[in-house]
Structure 1
Amino acid sequence: MSKVMRQFHRWVSALFVLTVIATSIALAQEEPIMWMSYVPLLPLALLAITGIYLFVLPYVAKARRS
Structure 2
Amino acid sequence: MNANKWIRQSHRWLSISFTLMVLANFAVMGRGDVALWIGALTLVPLFLLLFSGLYLFVLPYLARWRTARRVGS
Q: Does 1:33 align with 2:35?
A: yes
Structure 1 residue identity aligned to 2:27: I
Give unpaired runs (5+ residues) of structure 2: 69-73
The Cα of 1:39 is off from its aligned counterpart by: 1.0
CA RMSD across the alignment: 1.0
Moved more, 41-50 or 23-32: 23-32
The aligned residue for residue 10 of structure 2 is: 8
The aligned residue for residue 54 of structure 1 is: 56
Alpha-carbon distance in structure 1 between the residues aligned to 2:31 and 2:55: 37
The alignment covers a number of residue pairs equal to: 66
Could you say which structure has the larger radius of gyration?
2
Question: Percent identity of the aligned residues?
Answer: 41
Contact persistence 1:20–1:40 (CA under 8 A):
yes
Give unpaired runs (5+ residues) of structure 1: none
The aligned residue for residue 17 of structure 1 is: 19
Contact persistence 1:23–1:36 (CA under 8 A):
yes
The Cα of 1:31 is off from its aligned counterpart by: 2.6
Structure 2 residue identity aligned to 1:2: N
Q: Which runs of 4+ in 1 moved over 4 A?
A: none
Structure 1 residue identity aligned to 2:21: T
